[in-house]
Amino acid sequence: MALVIFVLFATILFASLLFIVISGDRRRGRSNLPPGPKGWPIIGNLPQLGPKPHQTLYALAKTYGPILRLRLGAVDVVVASSAAAASQFLRTHDANFSSRPPNSGAEHVAYNYQDLVFAPYGARWRMLRRLCVSHLFSAKAMEDFRHVRGGEVERLVHGIAEEEGVAVDVGGAVNTCTTNALTQVTVGRRVFGGREEKEGAEEFKEMVVELMNLAGVFNFGDFVPGLGWLDLQGVVRKMKKLHKRFDKLFDGIIAEHRESVEKGDVHGRGSDMLSILLRLKEEADGEGNLLTDTNIKALLLNLFAAGTDTTSSTVEWAMAELIRHPNLLKQAQTELDSVVGHNRLVSESDLPNLPFLQAIVKETFRLHPSTPLSLPRVASSDCEIDGHLIPRGATLLVNVWSIGRDPSMWPDEPLAFRPGRFLAGGRHEGVDVKGNDFELIPFGAGRRICVGLSLGLRMVQFMTATLIHAFDWELAGGETAEKLDMEEAYGLTLRRAAPLVAKPTTRLALKAYPKHV
């Protein structure tokens, strides 16, 4: 038996090696491929990526230029590391890079490509995106659910004010707020409520963090043909286990929702996303169901995961930067006091009148983009960009983290936190984050730009403004602002390696704080 396994393994390994050698010969015949570092036999550049690939690729771009090529196993990977290069791929050649490459995360966690994020570009992807835009992220939907976001932010303030003088896990508190605001809109209720709120929120955040960590791994099985079944890094095993946990959560939410409909509960027939999806499923015509329970669960996974961790991580980074720069924190508080005053909390309607707050958020997105390496895309056909051949089947990564540090684009202290660069008279006045200005694309650009951009941006601005307006902050444990740990923990999303823990002190009139929420 052992001999059979050995022969089988040797055969697969030989076939993989032969495939890669042949692929290498084909590449060598194409001398105008982008430049890049020489890789190892069979596995290519995979070992060179390191624990934080976005930083490794940033360093490589300094040697090989803004468009570089890696060989990860048998897969050509092209990395765009400048605004000009990103524009070529995501604007000029956007149609050619509108699908995703095969990957184990989409297969084993995201319901085998039945979701919005990893669905192939086509009719089903357009349908899912249209549903999200119409019922969650349109101007009307944003206005209809403004009271929900406001209510959750009041809960956030109430909870922090109750713990005045006690160290607060800023990211954890913001994550709970974000998740409950989102779930009220998506499934019609707060997922984390009552006495189990803290425990449930922590468990859910742990699941999302694990998902983002696994999704950020360059899995050998995705790149080396024939080795996937070995699961050398244990990634697929962990993905399958995590998928079962999410699937159980969503099955419970859907079952409870259907029971509410049968009982005639108001929220069961409400305007939340799940109610709408279930009605559309029921109303499908003779061509067959456009939506299945699997489609719905996959979409909930996208919304719950992408809409919570990315937002809370960005707010946490913004607060960390402001604590490190007390002069900027004071300047932001002065602006907020002049617009909002001391007798009430910030409202969403105040945000357009807070240019310095908006600049803080933009600068946070620049230095700490929630997705440092854009979700991968794949070339549908050969194309030429800046004189380089990009072969059909090549995977595209846009290094958003690198673009935000490009000294040719950000010549004024590119590594420093300077919100003033976005203000009137600043070099980058008028730059936005909506995919039009490629020097700042934290949500991506082109056809597959993040569908939740409007909500994500609104929530980051709203919560950041509220936290700095309602409270003064100091670090816990005698830690000084100058020595605050700003190390990154890489995953699909860019989280802090050390959670931000700080002590709040109320700074507004007593009547501004919610008494009972």
Q: What is the DSSP letter of 348?
A: G
Give CA–CA dist 126/145, Å, rounded.
Answer: 24
Long-range pairs of 324-329 with CB within 8 A, sequence gap ≥ 24: 324/417, 324/481, 324/482, 324/484, 324/486, 325/417, 325/481, 326/481, 328/360, 328/417, 328/419, 329/468, 329/473
Task: Tell me how long the chain is.
Answer: 517
Burial class (CB in 10 A: 0-12, 13-18, 19+), 143: exposed
Q: How many CB atoms lie within 10 A of CB 97?
A: 25
Burial class (CB in 10 A: 0-12, 13-18, 19+), 381: exposed
**Cβ atoms of 301 and 111 closer than 8 Å:** yes
β-bridge mates for residue 471, sequence order: 506
**Cβ atoms of 77 and 398 closer than 8 Å:** no
Unique residue bearing structure tokens 């549908």: 380
Give CA–CA dist 16/3, Å, rounded.
Answer: 20
Give CA–CA dist 128/290, Å, rounded.
Answer: 10
Q: What is the DSSP letter of 231?
A: -
Inter-helix orientation angle 235-263/273-282, to 10°: 80
Q: What is the DSSP letter of 237?
A: H
**Cβ atoms of 305 and 213 closer than 8 Å:** no
DSSP string for 386-434? TTEEE-TT-EEEEBHHHHTT-TTT--S-TTS--GGGGSTTSTTTT--SS
Tell whether 450 is in a known binding site.
Answer: yes
What is the number of alpha carbons within 13 Å of residue 497 lying toward its C-beta?
9
Q: What is the DSSP letter of 37?
A: -
Give CA–CA dist 308/208, Å, rounded.
Answer: 8
| Strand blocks (E) in 361-461 | 377-378, 383-385, 388-390, 395-398
CA 210 to chain CA mean position, Å: 13
Binding residues for heme: 450
Binding residues: 450
